[in-house]
Structure 1
Amino acid sequence: MDSKNKHAEFSKITFRRRIWSALNIRYTEKKGLSFIINISLSVLIFLNTIAIILNTIPSLSSTYHHIFWDFEVFSVIIFSIEYLLRLWSCVESRFYTHKFWGRIKFIFSFWGIVDLLAIAPFFLSAFVTDFGVIRMLRLLRILRLFRMSKYFHAFRIIKNVLTSKREELILAFSFIIFLILFSSSLMYFLEHPVQPENFSSIPAALWWGVNTMTTVGYGDIYPITLAGKILGSLVAISGISLFALPAGIIASGFNEHIRGYKNEQGKVKCPYCQAEYYLAEKHKHQH
């Protein structure tokens, strides 16, 4: 009897581990049931995003309301099943080993919250009467786009680049914020005496600072004094070069990551032409 119970428990654990593995694909896997499941979920996430966007068009929303509703119900059913399976099988992960607290930890993890937000608005709408609040809750489903980063290598590269260059990016954006605050404060003292309605406070001048630094220039607020115009010109010119700084940091991060990835793959020599090439570029070298 004990052997039967142990066998049943072992079968349950094995099945649960398979479920967890199937729902948590690595970006390097390009075949198998796990790949098919997660690609299907990615397509469903993408279609949900398109449906959310199209549903905000009044003519489409009124004409095809039943189609949007049926698709939402179908999506919620699929996402609910996926969420429950993840919650049940998460104890197979080394991060959520405890049967109770492991699942609680999963619920409040980043990906657990993202998964929950994909289905919670549908059920919460039954208790909310304000249509504006319901629509806002449904827009939270767009957050599921974050999960697609686990399925595709391109998203993983972006994440790794931003992580490796976070200190440089923080420094660059800190300097940009400091310059916006400094120039806006200075512009307030220059323009407030002659334009008290436009530059009524430093926070109001910050709107001008952001517009000018990003070279947007809406034109709703601008300096009219000579000193203000000179300052505005300097801020606009410096804004072009300053925002190129984080772009350069990210570009160098991409270059370093791709070079490192190629070095990890290593070089091989073509047996036909004796040319050397990276394994990552094998598809480019064919005879």
Structure 2
Amino acid sequence: MTFRKRVYSTLEFSSIGRRGLSLYINVGLVTVIVLNSLAIILHTVPELAQHPLYNSLFQDFEIFSVFIFTIEYFLRIWSCPENPRYKDGWRGRLRYLFSFWGIIDFLAIFPFYFTLFSSEFGIIRILRVFRLFRLFRVTRYAHALKLIRDVIVEHKEELLLCFSFIIFTLLISSSVMYYLEHSVQPERFKSIPATLWWGVITMTTTGYGDMYPVTAAGKFFGGIVLIAGIALFALPTGIIASGFIEQIRRPKRKKGIRCPHCNEWIDAQTLKHIHKSEKED
């Protein structure tokens, strides 16, 4: 086995590599990610952020975390051609850079380096939010979070169709409500974009009470939108729930593992050949 392949196998926490050095490194990375996210949250507490000792600890831990994430980021770029998806040399590395995980890894370190060359406080405050993207990286390692990802990826067409229909209904209902209520409440329903807020809190059954219809036609139409919102949001919920049941039952029907490259199940016999080829390398 080449050094690059060994690095890739160590960083990729697949079912094949859940042992030895790979286990310790990935557990360490998860620990750093969780602690770093906790530090980002605690740093917003004024008593802690203004305390010289704690503020210094937060800054030192941020530097340490970015140092670890930067090394991991470049190691993943260097070793990604071992994945069949990115095997075409620099083209493969470029595809990895713009893949979902490549973007997440980049956003995890970009805010820190950008703040070193920028003094715009407004931009810095916005970029600090992106540091929480580091928490998304836990899904590389947690089985439960991988399960959520697999369900969403497998049913993305159905979910996209449902959310497209929800947005379409939101636009139509908000437009109708604007014309029904604008003449009576011009300060609240002052435009269709402003009325979209009413549509969101009505369809999601939140109902903050800051915008509500007062005319008979508006109340009648609002009731229809409220009932339709319950039915519409039940569609993606049902799709995700059925996807969870399917994903949970799937490992029980098949013996083997899920390939980290193609997301397909590998049976026990194929797994033996993989281990044999690795030993020969």
What TM-score do you get using the length of structure 1 for normalisation?
0.80
* Alpha-carbon distance between aligned partners in 2 of 1:99 and 1:180, rounded to the nearest angstrom: 46
- Amino acid paired to 2:108: A
Alpha-carbon distance between aligned partners in 1 of 2:225 and 2:171, rounded to the nearest angstrom: 11
What SS is found at the alignment partner of 2:50? helix
| 1:242 match: secondary structure | helix
**Alignment match, 2:18:** 30
Quickly say closer, same or farther: Cα 1:230–1:67, change in 2 above 3 A.
same
**2:57 is aligned with 1:80:** no
- How far is 1:37 from its partner? 0.6
Bigger relative contact order, structure 1 or 2 (CA pairs below 8 A, ≥6 apart):
2
Q: For the structure 1 residues 195 and 135, does the alpha-carbon distance in structure 2 shift closer, same or farther, using more than 3 Å as the test?
A: closer
1:110 to 100, 122, 142: 100
**1:143 alignment counterpart:** 133
Q: How does 1:207-246 map to 2 (within 5 A)?
A: 207-246=197-236
The equivalent of 1:205 in structure 2 is 195
Which residue is 1:10 aligned to?
none
Alpha-carbon distance, 1:28 to partner: 5.9
Aligned residue for 1:156? Answer: 146
**SS of residue in 1 equivalent to 2:61:** helix
Shift of the alpha carbon at 1:71? 0.5
What CA distance in whole angstroms lies between the structure 2 residues aligned with 1:242 and 1:99?
A: 46
Deviation at 1:156, TM superposition (A): 2.0
- Tell whether 2:21 aligns with 1:21: no
Work out whether residues 213 and 235 of structure 1, in 8 Å CA contact, stay in contact via their aligned partners in 2.
Answer: yes
* 2:9–2:17 contact (8 Å) kept in structure 1: no
Take 2:154 and 2:99, find their aligned partners in 1: how far apart are those partners? 23
SS in 1 for 2:85: coil
Q: Any stretches of 5+ residues in structure 1 without a counterpart?
A: 1-12, 267-287
The structural deviation recorded for 1:113 is: 2.7
Residue 119 of structure 1: how far off its partner (Å): 2.1
Once the two structures are superposed, residues 184-226 of structure 1 have per-residue CA deviations (whole angstroms, 9 ceiling, x without a partner) of: 2221221122122222222222211111111111211111111
Residue aligning to 2:274 = none
Give the structure 2 partner of residue 123 of structure 1. 113
How far the C-alpha of 1:94 sits from its partner, in A, is 2.9
Match of 2:30 in 1: 42
Distance of 2:18 and 2:254 partners within structure 1: 20
Q: Percent identity, please.
A: 56
Report if the CA contact (8 A) 1:52-1:139 is conserved.
no
Distance 1:164 1:98, change over 3 A: closer
| 2:81 alignment partner, SS class | helix
Change (3 A) 1:27 1:153: farther
Give, in angstroms, the shift of residue 163 of structure 1: 2.2
Match of 1:255 among 241, 245, 253: 245
Structure 2 unmatched runs, 5+: 257-281
2:177–2:221 CA contact under 8 A, matched in 1: yes
Question: Contact conserved, 1:125 with 1:134, CA < 8 A, in 2?
Answer: yes
Map Cα deviations across residues 47-66 of structure 1 (whole Å, 9 max, x no partner). Answer: 11111111112221111110
Q: Is the 8 A contact 2:33 2:135 kept in 1?
A: yes
Distance in 2, Cα, partners of 1:118 & 1:201: 38
Please tell me whether residue 265 in structure 1 is matched to residue 267 in structure 2. no
> Which residue pairs with 1:166 in the alignment?
156
User: What residue identity is the alignment partner of 2:3?
Assistant: F
In the alignment, the residues of structure 1 paired with residue 242 and residue 87 of structure 2 have an alpha-carbon distance, to the nearest angstrom, of 39
1:48-63 equivalence runs, <5 A? 48-63=36-51
Q: How many residues align?
A: 254
